[in-house]
Chain A
Amino acid sequence: MTGEVPVIHRRIPLPFQVRVEARIEEVPRWLPPLISLGAIGLALLIGGIVLAIVGGNPFLTYAHIARASFGSIGVFSDTLVKATPIILTGLACTVAFRMKLWNIGAEGQLFIGAFAASAVVLTPLLPAETPAPLMLTTMAVAGIAAGALWGLVPGILKARLKVNEVVTTLMMNYIAVSWNNFFIYAVWSEGGFQMSRIFPKSAWMPRLADYAGQIPAFRGLTIHLGLLLGIVAAGVLWWVLYRSKWGFEIELAGDNPNAARYAGVPIVRNTVLVMMLSGGLAGLAGMSEIAGVVHRLQGAISPGYGFTGVIVAWLAKLNPLVVVPVSILFGSLILAGREIQPSGIPKLIQGIILFCLISSETLLRYRIRFVRRRQA
C-alpha cells in the first residue's frame, strides 16, 4: 500500500440540520407575488439599515423619495419621462430572458440606437425641413435597426458558435459608448462641447406641454410620445410572447432547448431573431431619449437605463405588461435619487432590490426545512 492516507475532517455537527428540499408540487398562485413583495420589503429594510449607518434617517429618506416622484402631477410626469426608456429596455431584456438569452447589452444597444437616430438628423440624411412624422419615423427605424444590429452580432455568435452572450453583449456596450463619444467629441461636436448641435424642431417628439395652448392642464408636462411607444410596445410584446406561435417557440426554447429541437423549433434562427428584437427595443429607447428629452446627441443620455432594464425585466417576472408599472417605480427611484444624492444611495437600493429578488426565486423551487439530526 502506498503513502499515508490523508485525513478528512468532519464538519462540526449542529443539533439540527437545515435542509433545502425541492418542491414537488405546483406553488399556489399567490406565492410568487408574495415572495417578490417580501424580497422588496427586505431590500428596503437592508437599504434602510445602510442609510441609518451612513447617518441618514431611513423613514424620512423613503418618504422624500415618494414625495419627490409622486408628490404632484408635475413630478409624476417627470417620473414617467424617466420610466419611458426603462420600459423599452425592460421589454428588451424581457424578450431575450424569456429564451434564456442573457442580453445585458441593452445599454449599448440604447446608445447605438441614439447614435443612428441622430445620424438621420446630423449627417443629415433628411433635411431639417422634413415633416416631423416622416423625420421621427425615419429616426425610429434607424434607432431600431442599429439596436437590432447590436443584438444580431452576439446573437449569431451565440447561435452558431455558442459564444457566451453575456460576455459579448457586455463588451459591445463599451464599443457603443466609445463609438458615440467619437462622434460627440470629434465629428458632431458643437463649439468644442461634448455634444452635438440641437436638433431642428422636426426631430422633436411631441410633448404634452406642446398642447398647453389647447389644454391648459398640460402646462409644463414633459411626457413625450416615447411613453406611448413604450406602452404600445409592451402590449404588442405581451401578445407576441403569450399568444403567438413564435412566442410559444421562445418559451419552449427557454424552458428546454432539447425539447424545442425535438419539436422542430429552429433554435438558431430564433436565437438570432430574439436578440435582434431585444436590441431593436433598446435601440428605440435610445431614439426616444434623444428625440423626446435631450434633442441632441450627447454623452450622458443614460444613467444606466440598459442595466436597470435587467432588473425591471426580472422584477416583472418577464411579463411585458408588468414591466410598465415596475419601470415607473424605477423611474421614481432615479428621479428622487437626484434629490437625495447624485448616484450613490438610489443605485445601491436598486442593487439590493435585484439581489433580494433573484435570491427569492429559490424559494419558489425549494422549501427550507429544519430537521432534527438523527442520533448516530
Chain B
Amino acid sequence: MTHVTNAVEMRRIVKRFPGVLANDQIDFDLRPGEIHALLGENGAGKSTLMNVLAGLYRPDEGTIRVHGQAVDFHSPRDAIECGIGMVHQHFMLVPSQSVTENILLGLDEPRFLMNLPRYERRVAELAEGFGLRVDPRAKIWQLSVGEQQRVEILKMLYRGASILIMDEPTAVLAPQEIEDLFRTLRGMVAEGKSIVFISHKLGEVMQIANRITVLRKGQVTASGLKPAETTPADLARLMVGRPVLFRIEREAQEPGDVVLSIEGVSADSDKGLPALRNLSLQIRSGEIVGMAGVAGNGQRELAEVISGLRPCTEGRILVNGRVISNQPVRKAIDQGVAHVPEDRKEVGTAPGLSITHNLILKSYRHPPLARGLAVHYPTARQHAQQLKEAYDIMAPSVDTSVRFLSGGNLQRVILAREISAGPQLMIAMQPTRGLDVGAIEGVHRLLLDLRRAGAAILLVSEELDEIASLSDRIVVLYEGQIVGEVRGEMDDAMREQIGLMMTGQYKGQEAGGKGQEAGHDG
C-alpha cells in the first residue's frame, strides 16, 4: 500500500473544560475516501474532538493537519474553507424556509437578488449526484427528520466540504432512514469524500465503518481497527473499559416487599414514536436494580413515566400498591418517589435560584418548611446549611445561585434534596456521569446507604462497572423493552453477554435482527 496523505491528522489534541479533561492527548487520522467511526460512550470526548476539528472549539494543545497542511481554526467558517463540514445531532435549519433557502443561508452569494430557480437547479443537481432525495422547493417543516438530515448534508456539500463529520447521525432516525443514510454515505465515499461517523452504537459501526477508533474518558483505547479484525464484544469492552473497581462494601441483604411495580407500560417519546413497549419490572425494598443499555433506548422515558412527567399509553405503575402513572407529578412525590434526573441543569435544578431554593424544590409544601401559606425561609436556610455540610456541597454560601456550581456539586445538591426526603423509591439516572473519581465513590456510598435504609432503587447508567458493583440484579433495556436479566458476580462472560444484549444482538434465542418478539421477564 502506497503512502497517501491523510485527509486529517490530529496529533496530541488536548481540550479541557472547567473541571473536565475532555480530550487527553488524542491522535486521530482520517484517510481520504474512508468512513472512520469514532466510537465511545456519552462523555467520552467524541463530539469534543470533532468540534475541535470543525472549528467550534480551539484545542488547548495539539496540532491539526488537513491534507498535509497545518491549520489553526478560529471558527467553523475557517474549517469549512478547508473543506471540513459537520452535521450536528441537532439540526440548524429554519423551519419556515425552503431547502434551497436554508442551504444558501449565510453565504455571500446570491448577493441581493435571490434568483431562486437557478439555485434550486444547482441544489437539485448536487442532491442528484449524491443520491440525496429531497425537493429543493420544500419547506423544512414539511420534511421528515431523515430528509432534514439530508438538507444538512447538502448544506455542507454545497459549501464544498470534502470531509464530513456526522455527529450521531442515526440517533434521530427510524430504521429505514438509517438504511438510506448508510447508502448515501457509501455513495459519498465512492465520490471521494471522507467521513467521520460518531456513534456509540456497536452494530452500526460494524456495518458502516472502514476503520474504527474507540475513545474512553477522553483517551484513545483503540485506534484504526478494521471491523473484520474485531467483534462487537471487543468493542464493547474497549468502550466501557476494564473495571477500575474500588471494591465497595455491599452487604448481603434480603429484599423486602415489592415497592415499584411496572405493569406492561408503553409510552411515546417526545417525537411521538414508541419509546417503551410493554415493559414490566418490579423492584423490592432494599434492592438495587441496575438498568444497562445504550442511551436513547427508553431510559429517560421510563424515568419520566415513573415520576409522572410523561403519560403512559398502556399499562400502569404502582408504588406501594398505589397507582402513580398518568397522575400529577405531586402524587409520585408524595408517594416517596425520588428522581435524580439525567439532565441536571435543564430538569434537576433551577439555575438562577439559590442552593437553598434548589434544596427545598420539592419539600417547600410541607412543614416544617411550610407554615400555612408561607415558606419559612430561616428554617429553609438552616435545612440547606445542614445538607450543604452533610453532602459536602462546595459553595461560598447557601445563597449562591446553583448555576455557578460545578457538575459534581450540582449533583450533590440534587442528591441531597432527593435522599434527604427519605424516599421509598429512588430513580437514579446516570448519577455519576461526568463526576470525578472521588465524587463517584461518594454517590455510590449514598445509594448503598439508601438501600440499607430500605428504599427500592432503580439505577440507570451507561457505566457497566458501576451497575455491576452496586446492583442486586441487572436488567438490560433495548428499544424500550427489557431484553434480559442477569445476576451474580460480573465476569468477562457476563460483560460480553450484557454488551450483546445492549446492542440488541442477543435475545436469549438468537442473535441479530430487530425482531419484535414481546414478553420478557419482570
Name, among B191, B350, B360, the residue most crowded by chain A CB atoms within 10 Å (CB to CB).
B350
Given A3-B122, A256-B349, the answer on whether A262 and B329 have CB atoms closer than 8 Å is yes
Quick check: is A248 within 8 A (CB to CB) of the other chain?
yes
Whether a CB of chain B sits under 8 angstroms from the CB of A1 is: yes
Whether B160 and A6, one on each chain, are in contact in the complex, defined by CB atoms closer than 8 angstroms, is yes
| The residue from B81, B308, B332, B351 contacting A255, defined by CB atoms under 8 A apart | B351
Determine the chain A residues whose CB is within 8 A of the CB of B322 once the complex forms.
none
B375 touches A252 (CB 8 A): no
Q: Cβ of A3 and Cβ of B126 under 8 Å apart? A: yes
Asked if A260 and B350 sit within 8 Å, CB to CB, the answer is: yes
- A248–B358 Cα distance when bound, in Å, is 11
A162 on interface, CB distance cutoff 8 Å = no
CB distance from A240 to the nearest CB of B (A): 9
Which residues in window 102-121 of B have CB below 8 A to A? 107-109
Q: How far is the CA of A251 from the CA of B360 in the complex (A)?
A: 13
Find out whether the CB atom of B401 lies under 8 angstroms from the CB atom of A262.
no
Q: Determine the distance from Cα of A251 to Cα of B351 in the docked complex, in whole angstroms.
A: 12
Name the contact of B352 in the complex, choosing from A7, A255, A263, A376 (C-beta under 8 A).
A255
The 9 closest A-B pairs by CB, nearest first: A5-B160, A264-B330, A264-B329, A256-B350, A255-B350, A255-B352, A263-B361, A259-B350, A2-B129
Min distance, Cβ A172 to any Cβ of chain B, angstroms = 26
Please determine whether A6 and B72 come into contact, CB atoms closer than 8 angstroms. no
Given pairs A6-B109, A24-B18, A239-B374, 10 additional interface contacts (CB within 8 A): A8-B81, A25-B404, A26-B401, A243-B375, A252-B357, A252-B361, A256-B350, A256-B351, A259-B361, A262-B341
Per-residue CB proximity of A335-376 to B under 8 Å, as 1/0?
000000000000000000000000000000000000000001
Which chain B positions have C-beta within 8 A of A57? none
12 cross-chain CB contacts under 8 A: A1-B192, A3-B158, A10-B77, A243-B377, A244-B373, A248-B357, A255-B351, A256-B351, A262-B309, A262-B339, A262-B347, A262-B348
A contact residues around B321 at 8 Å (CB) = none
CA distance A376 to B78 in the complex (A): 12
What residue of chain B has the Cβ atom nearest to residue A13's Cβ? B74
Are A7 and B109 in contact, with the CB atoms below 8 A? yes
Decide: A245 and B364 in contact? CB cutoff 8 A: yes
Please name all residues of chain B whose beta carbon is closer than 8 Å to the beta carbon of A248 when the two chains form the complex.
Answer: 357, 360, 364, 375
8 Å CB contacts to B: which residues of A226-253?
239, 243-248, 251-252
Name the CB-closest residue of B to A9.
B108
Name the contact of B375 in the complex, choosing from A6, A244, A258, A264 (C-beta under 8 A): A244
* Residue in B74, B107, B343, B349 whose beta carbon sits within 8 Å of that of A6 in the complex: B107
Q: Is the C-beta of A261 less than 8 angstroms from some C-beta in chain B?
A: yes
Known: A259-B349, A261-B309, A264-B328. A8 touches B129 (CB 8 A): no
Task: Give chain B nearest CB distance to A340 CB in angstroms.
Answer: 40
Q: B169-204: which have CB < 8 Å to A? A: 191-192
Contact A6 B108 (CB under 8 A): yes
Q: Which of B72, B129, B364 has the most CB of A within 10 A?
A: B364
Chain B, 21-47, CB within 8 A of any chain A CB? none
Q: Are the C-beta atoms of B374 and A3 separated by less than 8 Å?
A: no
Mask of B403-416 contacts with A, CB within 8 angstroms, 1/0: 01000000000000
Q: Which residues of B contact A (CB under 8 A)?
A: 18, 72, 74, 77, 80-81, 107-109, 122, 125-126, 129, 157-160, 191-192, 307-309, 328-330, 332-333, 339, 341, 343, 346-353, 357, 360-362, 364-365, 370, 373-375, 377, 396, 400-401, 404
A2-B108 Cα distance, complex, nearest whole Å: 19
A266 within 8 A of B: yes
In the assembly, what is the distance between CA of A5 and CA of B343, in Å?
41
A262 to B329 alpha-carbon distance, docked (Å): 7
Across chains A and B, the number of contacting residue pairs, with CB separation under 8 Å, is 103
Our pick among A1, A251, A264 for the contact of B353 (Cβ within 8 Å) is A251
- Of B72, B160, B360, most buried by chain A (CB within 10 Å of CB) is B160
Tell me the nearest residue of chain B to A258, going by C-beta: B347
Which of B18, B74, B341, B374 lies in contact with A243, CB distance below 8 A?
B374
Once bound together, how far apart are the Cα atoms of A30 and B160, in whole Å? 52
Minimum CB–CB distance for B17 against chain A, Å: 12
Q: How far is the CA of A198 from the CA of B373 in the complex (A)?
A: 43
Chain A 1-22 interface 0/1 with B at a Cβ cutoff of 8 Å (1 = within): 1110111111000000000000
Task: Give the residue of A8, A243, A252 whose beta carbon is less than 8 angstroms from that of B77.
Answer: A8
Given A252-B353, A256-B350, the answer on whether A2 and B373 have CB atoms closer than 8 Å is: no
CA gap between A259 and B357 in the complex, in Å = 12
A3-B126, A8-B77 are known contacts. Are A244 and B362 too (CB-CB below 8 A)?
no
Q: Check A2 against B126 for contact (C-beta < 8 Å).
A: yes
A239 to B192, CA, bound (A): 68
Contact A8 B108 (CB under 8 A): yes
- B125 close to A2 (CB less than 8 A): yes
- A1 vs B158: C-alpha distance when bound (angstroms): 11
List the B side residues contacting A259 at CB < 8 Å: 346-350, 361
Inter-subunit contact B125/A3 (CB<8 Å)? yes
- Bound CA–CA A246/B84 (angstroms): 52
- How far is the CB of A235 from the nearest CB of chain B, in Å? 15
Complex partner residue of A266 from B191, B328, B350, CB under 8 angstroms: B328
Q: Give A263 to B333 CA distance when docked, in angstroms.
A: 8
* Contact flag A26-B351 (CB < 8 Å), given A6-B160, A248-B375, A266-B328: no
Inter-chain CA distance A228–B401, complex, in Å, is 36
- Closest partner residue, chain A, to B343 (CB atom): A258
Specify which of B160, B333, B373, B401 is in contact with A245 (CB 8 Å cutoff).
Answer: B373
CB distance from A374 to the nearest CB of B (A): 9
What's the Cα separation between A1 and B125 when bound, in Å? 11
- Cβ A256 vs Cβ B396 within 8 A: no
Please determine whether B77 and A26 come into contact, CB atoms closer than 8 angstroms. Answer: no
Report how far A244 CA is from B74 CA in the complex, Å: 50
Give the distance in Å from the alpha carbon of A239 to the alpha carbon of B373 in the complex: 11
Hey, which chain B residues are within 8 Å of A246, CB to CB?
Answer: 373
Is A258 a contact partner of B353 (Cβ separation < 8 A)? Answer: no
Q: Are A6 and B159 in contact (CB under 8 A)?
A: yes
Q: Which residues of A contact B352 (CB under 8 A)?
A: 255-256
Q: In the complex, A376 Cα to B352 Cα: how many Å?
A: 39
CA distance A190 to B373 in the complex (A): 48
CA–CA, A26 and B404, complex, Å: 7
Q: For A7, what are the chain B residues with a Cβ–Cβ distance below 8 Å?
A: 108-109
Interchain nearest-CB distance for A281 vs B (Å) = 19
Q: Which residues of B contact A6 (CB under 8 A)?
A: 107-109, 158-160
Q: Give Cα distance in the complex from A160 to B289, angstroms.
A: 38
Task: Tell me the bound Cα distance from A145 to B74 in angstroms.
Answer: 58
A25–B406 Cα distance when bound, in Å, is: 11
Residues of chain B contacted by A261 (CB below 8 angstroms)? 309, 329
Interface pair B333/A264, CB less than 8 Å apart: yes
